[in-house]
């Protein structure tokens, strides 16, 4: 039996196609596009980083003031306390004052200075009340006992023997009638100026005069002692101070209603000073003033010249004083004010941003500078806008 032959079928081999390498131009185009895109991205980032706007805000200053009490203590343990110390000093003084009433004019003894000449060969003693006779017969008497040296002269005060304005006579020569008549040409007196005081105004001292004098003298003493205590304070921790005083003794030589040309008062006062830490006090003042401001303002600077301190109450034994503080400051715009919300001005033109800000009553004036200087708009990024607030 014959075995059949296997028929071999030949399949065609697959055709191998050689791929061509990409064109060089295409690679160059892609590389160039990538470079351009990178450069543009870098440029954009650099530009966005470089762009900036500085806005100078001239704040409409606002005066703010507040009165409050602060405790001066040896050791501060609370917010409303300031460390300090108490000092006391006692002082007394006497002064004269004039009544304020118009008063009444009454006659008095006119007087003035005279010169007694001795052209005799011996010294001439003259006792007080020795008479001096004017040419018109008006009589004066010397005030003190004197001895006029031979060939010399002495000066002495003399007053009229009687009261009256008619004794206000002009310069003249006086004889001394008590001397032997033969000596009266050699021992005599002369006045070089007019006699004065022939009448005086007597005023009644009222209670108001006494009260006014006490107030004036006590204030004068208070100012003097206060300065002495400030000068004597050598503790650098307590450079600021407040004071009060009490009159502990008062004596006058005059009762209300008495008629006197002048009266005197003697006072004794005790001055108490509270010396305290200036920085701690400023911190309290800033906090108190800030409480009275809204969200748009903050305290710029304390006006130290107008800040007043006075002692309300104190205890010298415990070293604690209640000090009344009257403080003032100028408030300026806060950077967190709602009017300075950067979101509202990003991307605006410089002119529109300026008009928007200056439209607020909290702002006096606005100056905007940009970088680069030629761009006319504000950056779109808030952190590229910077405020500079000018008080």
CATH assignment of the domain containing 180: 2.40.30.10
**pLDDT the model gives residue 6:** 55
**pLDDT the model gives residue 1:** 47
Among 15, 50, 20, CA closest to 381: 50
Q: Are 133 and 57 found together in one domain? A: no
**pLDDT the model gives residue 334:** 81
**Residue 311 within a domain:** no
- When divided into structural domains, the chain yields a total of 2
Q: Are 56 and 119 found together in one domain? A: no
- Which of 10-24, 233-247, 248-262, 286-300 has the lowest average pLDDT? 10-24
pTM: 0.58
Return d(Cα 276, Cα 273) in angstroms, integer: 10
**Domain end (from 197, 224, 248):** 197
**Residue 259 within a domain:** no
**Residue 169 within a domain:** yes
**Residue 128 within a domain:** yes
**Domain end (from 141, 163, 197):** 197
**Residue 120 within a domain:** yes
Q: For residues 30, 36, 41 and 43, what is the CA-based torsion angle, rounded to 10 degrees?
A: 170
**Residue 364 within a domain:** yes
Q: Are 119 and 191 found together in one domain? A: yes
When pLDDT is averaged across residues 260-274 and rounded to a whole number, the result is 94
% of the chain at pLDDT higher than 90: 55
pLDDT in tens, 45-75: 555 565 888 999 888 777 888 899 999 999 9
Q: Are 56 and 113 found together in one domain? A: no
pLDDT in tens, 33-50: 777 777 666 655 555 565
Instruction: Give the mean pLDDT of the chain.
Output: 88
**Domain end (from 130, 164, 197):** 197
Q: What pLDDT band is residue 9 in, cutting at 50, 70 and 90?
A: low
**Residue 384 within a domain:** yes
> Do 108 and 200 meet the contact criterion of CB atoms below 8 Å apart?
yes
Q: What pLDDT band is residue 302 in, cutting at 50, 70 and 90?
A: confident
Tell me which residue range forms the domain holding 160. Answer: 109-197
> Do 70 and 325 meet the contact criterion of CB atoms below 8 Å apart?
yes
How close are the terminal C-alpha atoms of the chain, in Å? 126
Chain centroid offset of residue 136 CA: 65
**Residue 271 within a domain:** no
């Amino acid at each position: 039996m014959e075995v059949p032959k296997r028929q071999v079928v030949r399949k065609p081999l697959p055709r191998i196609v050689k791929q061509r390498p990409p064109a060089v131009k295409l690679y160059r185009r892609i590389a160039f596009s990538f470079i351009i895109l990178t450069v543009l991205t870098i440029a954009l980032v650099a530009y966005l980083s470089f762009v900036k706007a500085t806005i100078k805000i001239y704040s409409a200053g606002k005066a703010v003031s507040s009165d409050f009490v602060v405790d001066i203590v040896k050791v501060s343990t609370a917010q409303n306390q300031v460390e300090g110390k108490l000092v006391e000093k006692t002082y007394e003084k006497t002064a004269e004052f004039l009544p304020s009433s118009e008063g009444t004019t009454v006659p008095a003894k006119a007087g003035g200075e005279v010169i007694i000449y001795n052209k005799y060969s011996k010294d001439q003693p003259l006792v007080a009340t020795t008479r001096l006779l004017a040419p018109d017969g008006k009589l004066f008497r010397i005030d003190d006992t004197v001895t006029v040296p031979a060939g010399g002269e002495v000066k002495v005060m003399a007053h009229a023997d009687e009261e009256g304005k008619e004794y206000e006579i002009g310069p003249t020569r006086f004889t001394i009638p008590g001397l032997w008549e033969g000596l009266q040409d050699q021992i005599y007196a002369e006045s070089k100026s007019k006699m004065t005081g022939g009448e005086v105004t007597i005023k009644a001292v009222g209670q108001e005069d006494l009260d006014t004098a006490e107030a004036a003298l006590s204030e004068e003493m208070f100012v003097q002692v206060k300065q002495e205590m400030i000068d004597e304070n050598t503790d650098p921790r307590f450079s600021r101070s407040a004071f009060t005083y009490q009159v502990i003794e008062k004596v006058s030589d005059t009762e209300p209603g008495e008629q006197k040309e002048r009266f005197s008062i003697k006072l004794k006062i005790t001055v108490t000073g509270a010396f305290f830490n200036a920085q701690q006090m400023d911190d309290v003042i800033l906090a108190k003033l800030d409480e009275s401001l809204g969200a748009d303002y903050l305290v710029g600077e304390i006006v130290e010249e107008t800040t007043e301190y006075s002692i309300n109450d104190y205890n010298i034994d415990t070293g604690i004083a209640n000090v009344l503080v009257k403080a003032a400051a100028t408030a300026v715009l806060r950077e967190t004010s709602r009017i300075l919300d950067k979101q509202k001005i990003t991307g605006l033109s410089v002119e529109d941003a300026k008009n928007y800000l200056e439209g607020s009553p909290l702002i006096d004036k606005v100056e905007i500078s940009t970088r680069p200087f030629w761009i006319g708009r504000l950056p779109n990024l808030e952190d590229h806008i910077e405020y500079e607030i000018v008080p």
